[in-house]
Structure 1
Amino acid sequence: RALRETHLAPVPGLNTADDTGRAIAVEISRGCPCQCAFCCEPLVKGRTLRLRDLDVVEAEVKNLLRFGLRYFWFVCSELTFTKEHVLDLAERLIRINRDLDLPIYWRAYFLPVKFNKDEFRILLRSGLMLEQNGPFSDLSNDTLAQMHEPYRVKHALAHIRDLMELNEEPEFAHRKMERWILWSWLANPYATRQSVRETLATFASLGLDLHYDAAEGYPALRVYEGLRNLPEDTPQRTEVVTGDPDTPRSIIHPAFSYSRELLEHFADVDRLHDFLFYAHETLLSRHYRATRDWLGWSLQRPAAEIAALLEPIAPEPIANPPWVDHPELNDYHPRLWYARAHRCWERANRDWMCLRNALEAHGRVQGNAMLAALLHQGFACHHVRWNGPFAELGLLDTDTTLPTASTYDALTRLLPRF
């Protein structure tokens, strides 16, 4: 039977709940000349770069289109070292798309080097999805060099800047990325406490922690036999997946290598994992905004404190503070629930304990959204009164006179004081 991507919208829902990830792999090259410490592809496919005839690639794409397949993943690995080849393919795809009711879209890996902004614009016109919009191990030139990665911090930052600027261009408004996901590797095999600090500081100084909606990364490196350029003691420091050091390392029982310095600092794998989860949620992205448990938080606070916080709120809401928005909130964004939440507050006679009981009847997700709507209004009403303490702690943003929206910025200002 025909395989048709009828599940896809006119623009695939990349990085959204609608994205199925069902891209059809089409090989356009093979081999990689790099020696990245984490990658076994040169060992598997060779370090000699071989290009596939684009006439053959184009014929394969057109054949797949006959079956309704129009969502592709062009491989091999990063397309970084086949620039002219990729740009030639992009021009062919642009021509093909002119005759299609539903255009081709495609994915690929790109290291943050080689392609400039104008060249990426051509790729976007051909259907490239802005998937890898933050691909770097970390933002420390020392560790990038040790990892044998063929780029440096300036390339990673230029790559991110170019893609963010292209995303705002009117030409691509119909397929604008509304949700930005960062992939980074804070805990790469050569990571140190200094490289982590350097990465977080650079990221926050450019406001990128407020731009990314989620961040992902590995806590360790899966160790394959053929990997080179790893720390010399890697074989002695691997953790096998079973937790039993006597288990033979194999494909069935893979082994992982952690950064020695980070593991020694946290003294425990679970504590290192906890830190990385926190860093991804709150220091490299604003994902915590979509997962905050306001019901749980309110139960930890004195009832009188919550009542005082909510006391000045009015039926007509004022502007929310700048640390509320997140695309994953969707139908549960606090502003959508304020009118209903305020009516519930009034029916509870503005009594916090009565309100809390009433919210439980709405279910956890809806109740959390309603409480968030009320609390954010309370924070907004009180922020002027609290400006004094915030100013004394150095937490006010000089441009907005509101407390800084950057979690990293707040932490680095507060920690030296306590």
Structure 2
Amino acid sequence: MLIDDTPARARQGVDILLLSASNYPALPIYPYAFVQVSALAARHGLTTARLDLLGTPKEAWRTTLHAALERASPRLIGIHLRQLDSIFIWNYADYDLPGAPPVRRNSYWPFHDTAQLITILRELTDCPIMLGGFGFTTRTPDLLERLQPDFGVTGEPDEVLEHLDDVLANRDVARIANLAHRSGDGYALTPRVFLPPADHTEYTDAVLDDLLDFYGPRRVIGPDADVHVAVEIQRGCPYRCYFCTEPMVKGRRHHVRDLDAVMADITFLADRGVSRVWLVCSEINVGSNGLLFEMAARMRKLNHGRRQPVSWTCYLLPNPPLERSEIRTLLESRFEPSWNQFGSYHDENLKRTRVPYRARHAIRAQVDWLEEDQAFRRERGLPEPTRRLDMFLGNTYATPETVSATLRTVSELRLAERFDDSLITRATRVFDLGDGLIEDTSTGAYSVGPNGRLDEVDLVHPTFSYPTALVEVLGSARAVDELFAYAEKTFLSRAYRTRLDWPAFLVRHTGEEQLARWCDLLRHTPHPPGEDEAAGAVRALLAADGGRTLLGRLRRNTPGPPEGAPARENDGRLARALVELVVGTEPERTGAVLAAIGLTGYWDERAARTAYDVCAGLAARFATVEAAREAARTAAGPDDPALPLLAVEYCLYDNNVLLRPDWSRVLFDA
């Protein structure tokens, strides 16, 4: 919906119509630039209207834009180019990446969409067009040449808006900072300056109405809201992380916004029902945790006695570290922590990526925050959220040692058991941070257009580089994707184990008569004390009718009553418990066979062994799973080896064991 600040003025024509065709469909975010530019414009007596084209079919763009232009009658059209691509390789790979999120490939081209937007505007109006935004600032000269706007803004538009009349009249423009304007056959760029955040409030009712229309009120207002509304708290970053353009776009000097202005915006939003805010940009604890604690104190004061309290979040660095008592204080202020992905738990790798922390900081932050948050939720009866362990293990400097060291650490800490899923970023979106491509990314870098790979690197287009050391070991970028997809589900989360189909396992690895004999044997075998609930349920069903009902249900692999997922889960628990019970009737032979393949003590300790432990142990002896099976068959001997071999198959299935020599070199540094 097109919304302007002052309807009376809009009927006569607004000063600036703000447009965007660069929103990411997989994660729609109301353009914060709309908020900030509207506020800056108002400070200089200018009016604005806003229109984001996300959700408007392209075939309707012309009609929609014509209506917007008729209603707004602007003096200037400002196009926000937030980003040039998603930065994620899965949007642009020429094959479906294993383990990738459910995004549609080859579907997000904000540069091309913005070009199409400008073409339509040129046909509809003579109104001058000005380009700006984070994405535009990263490649200003290239984008000026290719998109041919009338003006551009590199970085902050404060001075451009202050002198908008002069800009439009092309009067004394050389003195206006951050402006690109036509000069001869090309463009001239005025001096670049980096400005601090606004010392005034930014949100108005008109902008908030626009934002609510974009998301839908239910996603923004009330206790069930899932959208964080952006409020700037700081700008600029002094660090030089190799993958990040923020210091180039926002400056290397770190500016903190006046906190009274920050709180005035948050209060404005809270008074209108907004229940979650995101403090941008960069990490809030650059250099110290002082700002973090100051905001926690202010948020506690804001929320005191408020019927609908406000939760707040922002990115954190794991260094400086936080004590657990400090974490608890932050949680009590309704803080929701967030990190940019850690590259690894390997110091040399982190040092080369130039992030301002080391493995011990990342590990401590990950564990302490996770445990404190879980305890905090338990104490208050709050639901446990779905948790995902994200890592940038595919960073440019990743090596087999980087990957294996990280996975070993995750295994030692048993972190995977605490995460429902995982996502590994497996290629770097390459940028020129001011002095050309980083040498280590330039060799393997390639660019992609809507029709496939380009002949040359072109940073206006999505440009990626896979970690050279991993490609050399595995043979291709695609092989890197396959290995990381396996590691995500098996070693970095419990995703694989939650998808196991134990009734199907029974069907594959036992015969009907054989399983019936084992169940009969189990009925007459004393059970040890301390068996779990599932084992007790199996024994009760066996005692009731010899197991006929249980086996019929499990071997058909269909859930019994009640219908649905709970029944399937229950059948899975019963099938797994049944396998464990029957295997347990031959403990000595089972233990000997498992020891023969390098898994001494596994059966008795299986709850304490991680999938990484098991796979690493087998990889140290065998090149393939079939080789491990053959060794197990030899060790079992000819005297009815079925139960010991069933234990081996249980181990392979439960731990998703896949053995390949090239994978073992990366996963286990073997």
TM (norm. structure 1) is 0.80
Structure 1 pair 357/167, CA: closer, same or farther in 2 (3 Å)?
closer
Question: What number of residue pairs does the alignment pair up?
Answer: 394
1:260 aligned onto 2:468: yes
1:319 aligned onto 2:532: yes
Alignment of 1:94-109 (within 5 A): 94-109=300-315
Q: Conserved in 1, the CA contact under 8 Å of 2:230 and 2:277?
A: yes
Alignment of 1:149-298 (within 5 A): 149-169=355-375, 173-174=379-380, 175=382, 177=384, 179-226=386-433, 231-242=438-449, 243-246=452-455, 249-251=458-460, 253-294=461-502, 297=505
Rounded Cα–Cα distance in structure 1 between residues aligned with 2:270 and 2:515: 61
Rounded Cα–Cα distance in structure 1 between residues aligned with 2:304 and 2:488: 40
1:376 aligned onto 2:595: no
TM-aligned CA deviation for residue 340 of structure 1 = 11
SS in 2 for 1:122: helix
Alignment of 1:79-158 (within 5 A): 79-81=284-286, 83-117=289-323, 118-132=325-339, 135-158=341-364
Structure 1 pair 295/228, CA: closer, same or farther in 2 (3 Å)?
farther
TM-aligned CA deviation for residue 121 of structure 1 = 2.6
Q: Conserved in 1, the CA contact under 8 Å of 2:394 and 2:426?
A: yes
Rounded Cα–Cα distance in structure 1 between residues aligned with 2:517 and 2:490: 24
Rounded Cα–Cα distance in structure 2 between residues aligned with 1:406 and 1:320: 22
TM-aligned CA deviation for residue 292 of structure 1 = 2.5
Q: What amino acid is aligned across from residue 615 of structure 2 in structure 1?
A: L
Rounded Cα–Cα distance in structure 1 between residues aligned with 2:327 and 2:383: 15
Q: What amino acid is aligned across from residue 532 of structure 2 in structure 1?
A: A
TM-aligned CA deviation for residue 209 of structure 1 = 2.5
Deviates more, 1:355-364 or 1:225-234: 355-364
Rounded Cα–Cα distance in structure 1 between residues aligned with 2:514 and 2:392: 39
Rounded Cα–Cα distance in structure 1 between residues aligned with 2:343 and 2:482: 19
Structure 1 pair 338/381, CA: closer, same or farther in 2 (3 Å)?
closer
Q: Deviations over 1:326-376 (max 9, x none)?
A: xxxxxxxx9999999999996668358x94275599999677535413321
Rounded Cα–Cα distance in structure 2 between residues aligned with 1:336 and 1:77: 53
Q: Conserved in 1, the CA contact under 8 Å of 2:220 and 2:227?
A: no
Q: Deviations over 1:302-340 (max 9, x none)?
A: 5359836983678x995268xxxxxxxxxxxx9999999
Q: Conserved in 2, the CA contact under 8 Å of 1:168 and 1:176?
A: no
TM-aligned CA deviation for residue 212 of structure 1 = 2.6
* Aligned equivalent of 1:69: 274
SS in 2 for 1:107: strand
Q: What amino acid is aligned across from residue 205 of structure 1 in structure 2?
A: E
Q: Deviations over 1:372-408 (max 9, x none)?
A: 133212133135335513455335369x644544100
TM-aligned CA deviation for residue 103 of structure 1 = 1.7
TM-aligned CA deviation for residue 248 of structure 1 = 5.9
Rounded Cα–Cα distance in structure 1 between residues aligned with 2:226 and 2:456: 34
Structure 1 pair 199/296, CA: closer, same or farther in 2 (3 Å)?
same
* Aligned equivalent of 1:409: 613
Structure 1 pair 227/284, CA: closer, same or farther in 2 (3 Å)?
farther
Please, which of 508, 511, 516 is the counterpart of residue 303 of structure 1?
Answer: 511
Rounded Cα–Cα distance in structure 2 between residues aligned with 1:107 and 1:123: 10
* Aligned equivalent of 1:329: none
Q: Conserved in 2, the CA contact under 8 Å of 1:249 and 1:255?
A: yes
TM-aligned CA deviation for residue 301 of structure 1 = 3.4
1:34 aligned onto 2:234: no
Q: Which has the larger radius of gyration?
A: 2
Alignment of 1:48-67 (within 5 A): 48-67=253-272
Structure 1 pair 343/226, CA: closer, same or farther in 2 (3 Å)?
farther
Structure 1 pair 375/27, CA: closer, same or farther in 2 (3 Å)?
same
Deviates more, 1:365-374 or 1:284-293: 365-374
Rounded Cα–Cα distance in structure 2 between residues aligned with 1:188 and 1:168: 30
Rounded Cα–Cα distance in structure 2 between residues aligned with 1:344 and 1:110: 59
Q: What amino acid is aligned across from residue 355 of structure 2 in structure 1?
A: E
SS in 2 for 1:411: helix
SS in 2 for 1:284: coil
Q: What amino acid is aligned across from residue 261 of structure 2 in structure 1?
A: V
Q: Conserved in 2, the CA contact under 8 Å of 1:341 and 1:373?
A: no
Structure 1 pair 7/46, CA: closer, same or farther in 2 (3 Å)?
closer
Rounded Cα–Cα distance in structure 2 between residues aligned with 1:344 and 1:291: 30
| Alignment gaps of 5+ in structure 1 | 13-19, 322-333
Structure 1 pair 5/395, CA: closer, same or farther in 2 (3 Å)?
farther
SS in 1 for 2:299: helix
Q: RCO higher in 1 or 2 (8 Å CA, sep ≥ 6)?
A: 1
SS in 2 for 1:274: helix
TM-aligned CA deviation for residue 6 of structure 1 = 4.5
TM-aligned CA deviation for residue 237 of structure 1 = 1.1
Rounded Cα–Cα distance in structure 1 between residues aligned with 2:353 and 2:472: 20
SS in 2 for 1:182: strand
Percent sequence identity over matched residues? Answer: 27
TM-aligned CA deviation for residue 9 of structure 1 = 10
Q: Conserved in 2, the CA contact under 8 Å of 1:105 and 1:129?
A: yes
TM-aligned CA deviation for residue 291 of structure 1 = 2.3
Structure 1 pair 406/254, CA: closer, same or farther in 2 (3 Å)?
same
TM (norm. structure 2) is 0.52
